[in-house]
Amino acid sequence: MASTTQHKALLKWVSEIERMCRPAHVYWCDGTKAEYDALIKLTLDTGAATRLNPDRRPNSVLFRSHPSDVARVEDRTFISTPDSEDAGPTNNWMDPAELKREMAALYTGCMAGRTLYVIPFSMGPIGSPIAKVGIEITDSPYVVVNMHIMTRVGQKVLDTLGEKGEFIPCLHSVGAPLAPGQKDVAWPCAPIGQKYISHFPDENLIWSYGSGYGGNALLGKKCLALRIASAMARREGWMAEHMLILRLTNPAGRRFHIAAAFPSACGKTNLAMLQPTIPGWKCECIGDDIAWMKIRPDGRLHAINPEAGFFGVAPGTSYKSNPMAMKTIRANSIFTNCVLTDDGDIWWEDMDVPCTHGIDWKGQEWTPDMKDADGKPIKGAHPNARFTAPARQCPVICPDWEDPAGVPIDIFVFGGRRTHVMPLVHQAFDWDHGVFMGATAASEPTAAALDVKVKLRYDPMAMLPFCGYHIGDYWQHWFEMGDRLGEKAPKVFYVNWFRKDGKRWLWPGFGENSRVLKWMCERVEGTAGARRTPLGYMPAPADLDTAGLEVGAADLETLLSVDGNAFRDELDELDAFLKKVGDRLPERMKRQVAAYKQRLGA
């Protein structure tokens, strides 16, 4: 398909990239079903994809990536600003001129023998005052079909852009040019040392090279929606956050909108698709990963989900943990690095259905009793195996999930994965205290983590890998947004579903988490009790709706208690974490730290 736009700057940029990358063909994507079907057929014909059994998984395919290209590559991800200080201590930095020289050399001729696809896409409902337009150039059909699901693609985006509209240029290549007559491989990519995921916040520019996987290649995902958008949001006075969005409706019909930030492995998608266990309460999903929020004329913070699909981690997803996700991926989905079963379906670990034999994510015969040289079980699916599915297929998708105006946020929730110390839930005393709670959100490292020697891994607002500028300036932006919102700012809470007594979970989680959300909503209404603790306002056991809940009184007391000695023992790690922020640590954060220590009697 040829270009159908009169946007001179866009046409000029595409022409420049074409001259540098030297593709065999140029194709402008129109976002139609016919285009999607044709590209899926192309991937099937070339052996890149496998058609799944249409009786079990209609209109769905499985891809297997190269073993070197299975996840985000944080050490090859750069925030490139003229001044290294602006990237801050949580990002890798390279000088923009040097980085562009290195990457331009790699880009030169990198699309030889391939098709250059131009993907016009909207992050957010097309035409929404909170949405942004991106243009991704890629040589990967896998990227195009995933972007079809994850964003709004096509001519309507170009029409909205007009002749002079602002767009975010996103350049991607798998970095595997083809010589004349050379046979392609199923998953082309470059060696790890040649992979670059580069962001130039001052220019709203993204360059990605060498990886075909996930957020490294679907540049609307973390690259645009968080790293570049967070920098844009700071300049323009809005918020781009790593947050799910859900609507909770109480029996009286009042709606509450909740945005929640959790690091990985903390049940984010599960909460986004929550099935409440308390009678009369209803939950609807608006988004499972990213929230863009602007202050609207009513003075409140309104949020949209800028994505159109779910790019979820497959292992651990089951009808027990997330039945709505399982129903969402019944059809019209793309799977990556899962097991292919003998009956042509997909499978992964902790799916809660048996699989006695299949083809693993590396394309090899697999059975669940297989072990490696150390006697450890060989997993059939990669731990980061993924599904890509349209959000509209979710059985509990909110009818207003594509409202261009967004939904007004009542509650912010932060959290981490803590088996000890951290109670089930507490509420911030005020906005500044809530910023402190989010900034110091932490999880315990796993045994496989590189930082296993530390007690806590801090992940401020779950944005550690995704903030596109200095983390201290990011916190200051949060404080300033609170000043603008005033009394209309969302209430802020912190949760921890993961307390244990030995190997036993103290809180059942999953749908029972609705009881904690109910207390939050009642706090917003002013109808629920709470007691003041050094951490914040906390419910007494009687303040939570525990009707029918199988949690003993002693366990509930533990879940809702504060061990001052344990929190005082963590202060040295907190100080060390905040020291890394340097002289850009906001004064208001320093005051929050001092007040926290005073409350603990430290």
254: pLDDT strictly greater than 50 = yes
pLDDT tens per residue across span 43-93: 999 999 999 999 999 999 999 999 999 988 999 999 999 999 999 999 999
Nearest Cα to Cα of residue 257 among 530, 426, 490 = 490
Q: Of all residues in the chain, what percent carry a pLDDT higher than 90?
A: 95
What pTM, to 2 d.p., does this model score?
A: 0.96
Distance in Å from the first CA to the final CA of the chain: 67
* pLDDT confidence band for 453 (50 / 70 / 90): low
Domain boundaries in the chain? 8-49+70-237, 241-307+400-600
Q: Tell me if 223 sits within 8 A of 150, measured CB to CB.
A: no
pLDDT tens per residue across span 501-529: 999 999 999 999 999 999 999 999 999 99
| Stretch among 86-100, 378-392, 453-467, 493-507 having the lowest mean pLDDT | 453-467
* pLDDT confidence band for 197 (50 / 70 / 90): very high
452: pLDDT strictly greater than 60 = no
Q: Tell me if 261 sits within 8 A of 209, measured CB to CB.
A: no
DSSP secondary structure letter of residue 440: T
Q: How far apart are CA 172 and CA 215, in angstroms?
A: 11
Burial-class residue 578 by CB neighbours within 10 Å (0-12, 13-18, 19+).
Answer: middle
CATH 3.40.449.10 for the 8-49+70-237 domain, yes or no: yes
Structure tokens at 115: 């098709």
Residue 321: Cβ within 10 Å count: 17
Dihedral sign for Cα 33, 225, 140, 361, please. negative
Three-state SS at 153: strand
Record: fold of 241-307+400-600: Phosphoenolpyruvate Carboxykinase; domain 3 (3.90.228)
Mean pLDDT of the chain: 96
pLDDT tens per residue across span 403-424: 999 999 999 999 999 999 999 9
Catalytic residues: 266
pLDDT computed for residue 267 by the predictor: 84
